[in-house]
């Protein structure tokens, strides 16, 4: 097998980061889903880019599209500064291309529009990954599996229970995990031979460079809205190409705990996003962000440490079972089981519980906030109550989910 560093040097990655994330509205009103904060200091896209970086893959194009400005800025100011000669993490977007203003029509069309970067790369392999999921993965293990099978395409697969498989694109495989058929959200999904589970597509692909160019050029003749799931994979199966599933459960990263194996979250709805964040503040969360052998990287910023002030009986600054990012000040108030993004300030006599505050949120005095997500830069006036009377929250213009999570958006400027 290739050594990991050889694989990294012989692979380029194309990260698809153009998703609107419509089910995460209003959090995605002004930002793409990959740019939504997660775990206080990170953005969702930091997870796939950290996986590439930790795997030694440091030639990465990030294909952005919808509300691309903040995402492009984040990549430029953080990921764009960490690479050296011949290495890069660069965002490219149809919004900023001079030769065309046409947006991507499908996942494969996005790669096709920038095929010149693939053709000029001299890379042996192309890793095509989505930019809007939370997980840790050593990509080199998937590439080695791809090489061992002499595959034309290898697709990362989640092993899911039969009752959940209908939400995904599901593969039929033989005993060697070679894919024989692909069905999108099937009513009666086919199980893995010898098991009572199914293989669901993660939307992450490994191609030999020459094969990728070949199938995209062929697919272009047939489909204007060329998509990997709808068109490319069925076309390759019909052609008899070697199409294999890679079981994500087999992927092991350094320092991984047993409960973290197979961790993958879509965070595509307010509820799933909230639950995945809240898991982080448990005593033993399923996703371990304190594994320094596989760090999640992001732009740290030049911020002072978090701070608590006042220790009077009725005015005590405390953070309990919480993530509190740099630059935060908990001033004579209580923060319990919450996540505070950078530069938040919680003023005296206030209580914040089971909530997620994005960057630069200010909570005024004598306020009570429960089970809320508060967007970047929002100022909560003195004496405000959120999360206790959901009908009043709706009348205030907040989004309230069926499970009672209150989303407080930024006001139009």
Which CATH number covers residue 351? 2.160.10.10
Give the Cα separation of 58 and 292 in Å (integer): 19
DSSP-derived 3-state class of residue 168: coil
CB atoms within 10 A of CB 95: 15
Instruction: Please give the average per-residue pLDDT across 142-164, as a whole number.
Output: 95
What beta strand segments (E) does 349-395 contain? 351-353, 356-357, 362-363, 368-370, 372-374, 379-380, 385-386
Q: Is residue 200 included in any domain, yes or no?
A: yes
What is the pLDDT at residue 100? 42
Residues 247 and 326 occupy one common structural domain: no
Task: Show the tokens assigned to 320.
Answer: 């309990």
pTM value is 0.93
What is the pLDDT at residue 401? 96
The per-residue pLDDT for range 51-108, each reduced to its tens digit, is: 999 999 999 999 987 777 888 888 988 887 777 767 889 888 764 443 444 455 678 8
Residues contacting 144, CB < 8 A, separation 6+: 1, 2, 7
Q: Is residue 355 included in any domain, yes or no?
A: yes
Structural domains in the chain (count) = 2
First to last CA, the chain: 55
Give the Cα separation of 403 and 356 in Å (integer): 15
User: For the chain, what is the total number of helices (H) and then of strands (E)?
Assistant: 11, 31
Give the Cα separation of 143 and 151 in Å (integer): 10
Instruction: Please give the average per-residue pLDDT across 128-133, as a whole number.
Output: 93
Residues 104 and 167 occupy one common structural domain: yes
Residues 268 and 346 occupy one common structural domain: no
Residues 197 and 130 occupy one common structural domain: yes
Residues 271 and 317 occupy one common structural domain: no
Instruction: Please give the average per-residue pLDDT across 382-407, as a whole number.
Output: 97
* 24 pLDDT more than 70: yes
Name the binding residues. 169, 184-185, 201
The per-residue pLDDT for range 325-362, each reduced to its tens digit, is: 999 999 999 999 999 999 999 999 999 999 999 999 99
DSSP 8-state code for residue 371: S
Distance of CA 257 to the CA centre of its chain: 21
Residues 103 and 251 occupy one common structural domain: yes
What is the pLDDT at residue 361? 98
User: Which residue, chain included where needed, has tokens 């024989």?
Assistant: 180
Q: Is residue 186 included in any domain, yes or no?
A: yes
Name the binding residues for alpha-D-glucose 1-phosphate. 169, 184-185, 201
Q: Is residue 286 included in any domain, yes or no?
A: no
Q: Which domain holds residue 345?
A: 307-408
Residues 324 and 237 occupy one common structural domain: no
């Amino acid at each position: 097998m290739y050594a990991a560093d050889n694989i990294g040097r012989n692979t380029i990655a194309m990260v698809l980061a153009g998703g609107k994330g419509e089910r995460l509205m209003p959090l995605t009103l002004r930002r793409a889903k990959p740019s939504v904060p997660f775990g206080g200091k990170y953005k969702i896209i930091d997870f796939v880019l950290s996986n590439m970086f930790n795997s030694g893959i440091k030639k990465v194009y990030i294909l952005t599209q919808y509300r691309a400005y903040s995402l492009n800025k984040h990549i430029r100011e953080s990921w764009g500064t960490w690479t050296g000669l011949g290495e890069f993490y660069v965002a490219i977007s149809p919004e900023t291309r001079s030769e065309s203003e046409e947006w991507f029509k499908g996942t494969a069309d996005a790669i096709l529009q920038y095929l010149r970067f693939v053709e000029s790369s001299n890379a042996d392999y192309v890793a095509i990954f989505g930019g809007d999921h939370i997980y840790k993965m050593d990509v080199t293990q998937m590439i080695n599996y791809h090489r061992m099978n002499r595959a034309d395409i290898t697709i990362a697969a989640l092993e899911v229970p039969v009752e959940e498989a209908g939400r995904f694109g599901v593969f039929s495989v033989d005993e060697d995990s070679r894919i024989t058929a692909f069905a999108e959200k099937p009513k009666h999904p086919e199980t893995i031979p010898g098991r009572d589970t199914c293989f669901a597509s993660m939307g992450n692909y490994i191609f030999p460079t020459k094969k990728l160019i070949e199938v995209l050029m062929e697919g272009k003749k047939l489909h204007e809205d060329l998509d990997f799931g709808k068109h490319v994979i069925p076309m390759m199966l019909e052609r008899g190409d070697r199409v294999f599933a890679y079981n994500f459960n087999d992927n092991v990263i350094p320092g991984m705990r047993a409960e973290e194996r197979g961790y993958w979250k879509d965070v595509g709805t307010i509820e799933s996003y909230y639950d995945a964040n809240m898991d982080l503040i448990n005593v033993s969360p399923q996703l371990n962000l304190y594994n320094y052998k596989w760090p999640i990287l992001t732009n740290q910023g030049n911020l002072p440490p978090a701070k608590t002030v006042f220790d009077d009986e009725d005015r005590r600054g405390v953070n309990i079972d919480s993530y509190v990012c740099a630059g935060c000040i908990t001033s004579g108030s209580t923060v319990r089981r919450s996540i505070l993004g950078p530069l938040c300030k919680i003023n005296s006599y206030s209580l914040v519980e089971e909530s997620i505050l994005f960057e630069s949120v200010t909570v005024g005095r004598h306020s009570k906030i429960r089970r809320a997500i508060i967007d970047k830069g929002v100022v909560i006036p003195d004496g405000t109550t959120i999360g206790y009377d959901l009908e009043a929250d709706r009348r205030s213009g907040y989004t309230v989910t069926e499970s009672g999570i209150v989303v407080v958006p930024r006001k139009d400027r």
